[in-house]
Amino acid sequence: MKDSAAPTGLPFMKMHGAGNDFVVIDQRGRRAVMTADLARALGDRNRGVGFDQLAEIVDADGADFGLVFWNSDGSQAGACGNATRCVSDYVMRGLGVDRVSLTTARGLLWAERLADGRVAVNMGPPQLDWQDIPLAHAVDSLHLPLPGDPVAVGMGNPHSVRFVPDAEAVDLVAVGPGHEHDPLFPQRTNVEFASLTGPDHLRMRVWERGTGITLACGSGACATAVAAHLRGLTGRHVVLDVDGGVLEVDWRDDGVWLTGPVARVFDGVLSPDYIAAHR
């Protein structure tokens, strides 16, 4: 591939984890081509490919690979748990191993394939101090001074978790944007609504920062499980039913582990003309 993508086009993969879908571009050994305009164009489900997030695989010192994440509105995302799991599966298959190291904006992380085919990733420790999440000023992150008494948790990206009697009844389109753009979150926030459905079992729905409603959110599942434990609702190992499937979160001493299914749906090639029109 010369000069990024021209003249042969840019290969990509379409993947998903529990319905959380991604365009994945392997940029290792190549000059990066992604821009906010191109990411936004690719995220359009009518005029592009469509995705919840785009993941670029890049070279990384001291790790098997690195990841850079983009939202469908062209903004960058600091973390994406399900995309990390999907890409880790792809890299593990390429290397013929069941465990890999990777870097994101959070630093060095580890992922592994389980015997049942699911993939787990250590998303690192949760960020609970207000300045690390980040919040605009000092408040009690376990009880934010906002409607719904949310919990703020950082997982490399900010989350606002609200516990409600019935997550199914929440109108995400009506309430999600207002919470995402609340001034308390200077970098905007992902918004989760969760209800307890059994011992250590939650139903979670999500409005993702820069994307909107998604069928699953890996970092959101981690944040919700952490918040539920801190509120005394669950233990540290939680099963979450999301719109697209089932995720498991285990908050261990070494970090928050996210486990779930992965799928590689199809491969494609972006045309040189399309890339040139949106750079």
CA distances from 212 to 41, 81, 218 (A): 16, 16, 15
Concatenate the DSSP letters of all residues of 31-68 into one string. Answer: -----HHHHHHHH-TTTS---SEEEEEE--TTSSEEEE
CA distances from 192 to 131, 138, 222, 240, 246 (A): 20, 21, 11, 12, 15
User: How far is it, in rounded angstroms, from Cα 111 to Cα 119?
Assistant: 7
99-104 vs 76-77, strand pairing mode? unpaired
Give the active site residue among 80, 91, 221, 242: 80
217 is catalytic: yes
86 is catalytic: no
Q: Which of 240, 195, 243, 192 is nearest to 216 (CA)?
A: 243
Give the active site residue among 39, 67, 102, 217: 217
3-state secondary structure of 270: strand
Give exposure, 69-104, as e/b (b: 16+ Cβ within 10 Å): bbbbebbbbbbbbbbbbbbbbbbbeeeeeeebbbbb
User: How far is it, in rounded angstroms, from Cα 42 to Cα 274?
Assistant: 9
Q: Show which residues are catalytic.
A: 80, 217
